[in-house]
Structure 1
Amino acid sequence: MDIKEIQNLIKFVAKSGASEVKLEMEDIKITIKTGSGKTETTIVQAAPLSNMAQAVTAPPAQTFTEPIASVKESESEDSKYITVKSPIIGTFYRKPSPDKLNFVEVGTDISIGDTVCVIEAMKLFNEIESEVSGKIVKVLVDDSSPVEFDQPLFLVDPS
């Protein structure tokens, strides 16, 4: 059994809705478990096949989204605000160091170029400067949390 056949088997099981499938052949034993949005595959083989990994994990079979109604409500409330987003992937910090005060708090007036947070990426601490002027209305990320590129960090009232 080659890797393409195993991948096709994983896709088939994910689409079928089965929670667990075990397949045993002469020289290979495969168990595929699905559930809670993840597909897990374990492969045990007696004789080594050419360049095939011992365990293969497939991508999630299904993607769950947030309820649309709650997202639309928050968008309408926040539509008058400007969102400060993360320019990089890393770890979000509200302070320059653990013994210092936060860069900004809710209610803080900021100007263009003011440092609003620090994002650590690959052991480098990058100061994130505001590109808008206004008042911080909401902090959207917890301190020391991982952030993605373009993830909203703060809401700013420009008025």
Structure 2
Amino acid sequence: MDLKDIQNLIKFVAKSGASEVKLETEDVKITIRTGSETETTYVQQVPMQAQMPMQQAVPQAPAPAPAATTDAPAAADENSKYITIKSPIIGTFYRKPSPDKPLFVEVGQTIAVGDVLCIIEAMKLFNEIESEVSGKIVKILVDDSSPVEFDQPLFLVDPS
């Protein structure tokens, strides 16, 4: 099982609402747990002589969504004119390429298609997240070095 298959499995589990999934093959054992602030993935190499059948946990009911506040409709109307850039993967969000380098983007900065906005580290791989839209950064929704989930909003961009 290669890294791309593992990343796709993590995305699938995040979308499905399952709280835990275990997958065992001849050479890899993976456990993915969700439902907390961060998602945890364990990958363990299994000795080749151990022959284990593939297992998958039964999805449990998702946790109830928190109650909406009265400010939510006003905020949604205000942000509706902006494009939301979301995380394509689960990992750790970084605003700069290394601690001694400048930030990729800041609020008020104009960006173009293909500009690197941030890095998301997933399983010791640093993935540059590029903009798919042009515009001006209105808001950065995630703190530096914070864990992010699949499809979590990262930036608000004004396309005008």
Into which bin does the TM-score normalised by the smaller protein fall?
A: 0.5 to 0.7
Opposite residue 109 of structure 2, the aligned amino acid is T
Matches of 1:110 and 1:61, distance apart in 2: 37
Residue 62 of structure 1: how far off its partner (Å): 6.2
- Tell me the TM-score normalized by structure 1: 0.60
| Identity across the alignment (%) | 70
Opposite residue 145 of structure 1, the aligned amino acid is S
Opposite residue 158 of structure 2, the aligned amino acid is D
Residue 64 of structure 1: how far off its partner (Å): 4.7
Residue 70 of structure 1: how far off its partner (Å): 2.1
Is 1:109 aligned to 2:110, yes or no? yes
Aligned pair count reads 101
Change (3 A) 1:126 1:61: closer
Change (3 A) 1:71 1:124: same
Report the counterpart of residue 121 of structure 2 in structure 1. 120
Matches of 2:140 and 2:98, distance apart in 1: 18
Change (3 A) 1:77 1:62: same
Matches of 2:125 and 2:117, distance apart in 1: 17
Is 1:82 aligned to 2:83, yes or no? yes
Residues 30-87 of structure 1 show CA distances to partners (whole Å, capped at 9, x for unaligned) of xxxxxxxxxxxxxxxxxxxxxxxxxxxxx79962514242222211110000001000
Residue 113 of structure 1: how far off its partner (Å): 0.4
Please give the secondary structure, in 1, of the residue aligned with 2:70: helix
Please give the secondary structure, in 1, of the residue aligned with 2:120: strand
Please give the secondary structure, in 1, of the residue aligned with 2:105: coil
Structure 2 unaligned residues grouped into runs of 5+: 1-59
Structure 1 unaligned residues grouped into runs of 5+: 1-58
Report the counterpart of residue 93 of structure 1 in structure 2. 94
- Tell me the TM-score normalized by structure 2: 0.59
Opposite residue 112 of structure 2, the aligned amino acid is S
Report the counterpart of residue 135 of structure 2 in structure 1. 134
Matches of 1:154 and 1:70, distance apart in 2: 20
Report the counterpart of residue 73 of structure 1 in structure 2. 74
Opposite residue 119 of structure 2, the aligned amino acid is V
Matches of 2:68 and 2:77, distance apart in 1: 15
Opposite residue 72 of structure 1, the aligned amino acid is P
Report the counterpart of residue 55 of structure 2 in structure 1. none
Change (3 A) 1:61 1:81: closer
Matches of 1:64 and 1:80, distance apart in 2: 25
Change (3 A) 1:62 1:103: closer
Residues 69-123 of structure 1 show CA distances to partners (whole Å, capped at 9, x for unaligned) of 2222211110000001000000000000011111000011000000000000000
